[in-house]
Amino acid sequence: MYSITVRDHMMIAHSLKGAVFGPAQDLHGATYTVDVEFKTPELNEDQIVMDIGFASAVLKEVTGKLNYKNLDEMPEFRGKSTTTEFLARYIHDEVLAKVHGEFKGFIKVVLHESHVAWASYEGGGSG
């Protein structure tokens, strides 16, 4: 299996719903490191997984929509608990939509909440 990974970061504010989150129920900030790995069993006709510059630009576009935002105020997250796991899936789906037709394979998003904790989501690529 071949893969490339690109990285970005974003700073957000949000609150999480439910007693399980303790003090994180209150509005707080988070700084995430975001890794997106593109995996495929075969290289494309250019003998690459995909263009790293293109992958980086796509990730920057996706994180740019969230960076310095209060997620509680964004319509697409209204009524949602924007946990690290939830955001990993959201970023995956946004990246997938932007690389549709350019990439066949699997995309894995790892959202690093800190140097000791992270969450991820992996799913199929587009064709």
Alpha-carbon dihedral sign for residues 54, 121, 108, 103: negative
* Core vs surface per residue 99-123: b (16+ CB within 10 A) or e: beeebbbbbbbbbbeeeeebbbbee
What pLDDT shows up at residue 125?
A: 64
**Architecture of the domain made up of 2-124:** 2-Layer Sandwich (3.30)
pLDDT in tens, 72-98: 999 999 999 999 999 999 999 999 999
| All structural domains of the chain with their residue ranges | 2-124
Strand 69-70 and strand 106-112: the pairing is unpaired
pTM, two decimals, is: 0.94
| Per-block mean pLDDT, blocks of 10 residues, the chain (127 long) | 97 96 96 97 95 97 98 95 97 96 93 96 76
What pLDDT shows up at residue 104?
A: 87
